[in-house]
């Protein structure tokens, strides 16, 4: 399977979710390849820190520009290829969308993120014309942990207007442990925070199905 974690909003949490899902699935015994398709190299740098920390090894490759052939080729050799594309409309994002089985779009419940959806929806239509099997999911990320804040409910309502985008029922909340994990080359399942561990496992179950 090729899972593309992408979207047009910078800093939404794509690399965070991509690296965390890679760790969860590697721990489940899946042969994972993390393909860093962002010239910024967030995923590759995270991986370099991971290697220095001698944690469970996960394969990582870097490719920018046209990534269709690379993603397809890696999918022959790995059970799961997670593509981390940078936060803008790019050649990487568009070519990966044609190769992917699923596009996962991390979206913050903020107006700036939600405003990118109109354009993303056009890009998705174009990709689907070439890749009819492409599934598209959005996941709300960096949501406030304060239950009184209604941003998530508002975002859900807005996302309901986009029929081609299925909203994941799991939510990733804004927690410092995600920043710490990124810095340490870890996934939150390797950190001491039960809430973050649980929410990323739930998201993985929703995307890949329950394994345990
Ligand atoms: N759920 C979260 N809780 C707390 N901090 C987060 C969360 N998700 C992401 N961050 C932090 O926000 C910043 C941006 O996250 P990340 O690099 O994953 O975003 P991105 O969408 O990949 O950005 P880009 O568009 O630049 O590729 C990082 O410092 C990261 O640690
Ligand atoms: Mg990124």
User: DSSP secondary structure string, 126-143?
Assistant: HHHHH-TT-EEEEEEESB
Which one-letter DSSP state was computed for residue 173? B
Nearest to 31 by CA among 50, 67, 56: 56
pLDDT of 117 above 60: yes
Q: What is the mean pLDDT of residues 100-125?
A: 94
pLDDT, residue 154, reads 87
Q: Which domain holds residue 39?
A: 2-208
Q: What is the mean pLDDT of residues 107-135?
A: 94
Q: What is the mean pLDDT of residues 73-79?
A: 98
Tens of pLDDT, residues 174-207 = 999 999 999 999 999 999 999 999 999 999 999 9
Token pair recorded at residue 157: 């309502």
pLDDT mean across residues, the chain? 95
User: What is the residue with the minimal CA distance to atom 31 of ligand 1?
Assistant: 179
**Ligand 1 pocket by Cβ (under 6 Å):** 10-16, 38, 40, 42, 86-87, 141-142, 172, 174-175, 178-179, 182
Closest listed ligand to the CA of 88: 1
pLDDT, residue 211, reads 66
Tens of pLDDT, residues 9-65 = 999 999 999 999 999 999 999 999 999 999 999 999 999 999 999 999 999 999 999
- Of the chain, the percentage scoring pLDDT greater than 90 comes to 87
- Mutation pick for ligand 1 pocket among 93, 178, 183, 197 (CB with most ligand atoms within 8 Å): 178
Q: What is the mean pLDDT of residues 144-148?
A: 85
The residues, any chain, with a CB within 8 Å of residue 71's CB and separated by 6 or more, are: 2, 35, 81, 83, 96, 99, 100
Q: What is the mean pLDDT of residues 113-124?
A: 93
- Mutation pick for ligand 1 pocket among 10, 13, 82, 105 (CB with most ligand atoms within 8 Å): 13
- The tally of domains found in the chain comes to 1
Hey, is 172 helix, strand or coil?
A: coil
Q: What is the dihedral of CA 84, 141, 206, 36, to 10 degrees?
A: 10
- Where residue 99 sits, what CATH number does that domain have? 3.40.50.300
User: What is the residue with the minimal CA distance to atom 9 of ligand 1?
Assistant: 13
Q: Which residues of 150-163 are buried (b: 16+ CB within 10 A; e: fewer)?
A: eeeeebeebbeebe
């Amino acid at each position: 399977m090729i899972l593309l974690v992408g979207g047009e909003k910078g800093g939404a949490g794509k690399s965070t979710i991509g690296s965390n899902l890679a760790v969860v699935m590697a721990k489940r015994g899946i042969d994972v390849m993390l393909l860093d398709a962002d010239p910024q190299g967030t995923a590759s740098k995270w991986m370099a820190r991971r290697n220095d920390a001698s944690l469970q090894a996960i394969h990582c490759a870097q490719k920018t520009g046209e990534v269709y052939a690379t993603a397809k080729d890696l999918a022959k050799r790995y059970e799961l290829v997670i593509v981390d594309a940078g936060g803008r409309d790019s050649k990487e994002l568009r070519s990966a969308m044609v190769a992917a089985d699923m596009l996962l779009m991390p979206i913050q419940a903020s107006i700036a993120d939600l405003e990118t959806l109109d354009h993303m929806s056009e890009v998705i239509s174009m990709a689907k014309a070439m890749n009819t099997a492409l599934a598209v999911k959005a996941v709300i990320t960096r949501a406030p942990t304060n239950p009184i804040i209604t941003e998530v409910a508002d975002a859900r309502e807005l996302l309901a207007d986009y029929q081609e985008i299925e909203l994941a029922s799991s939510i990733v909340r804004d927690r410092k442990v995600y920043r710490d994990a990124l810095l340490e080359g870890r996934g939150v399942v390797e950190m001491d925070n039960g809430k973050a561990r649980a929410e990323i496992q739930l998201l993985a179950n929703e995307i890949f199905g329950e394994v345990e």
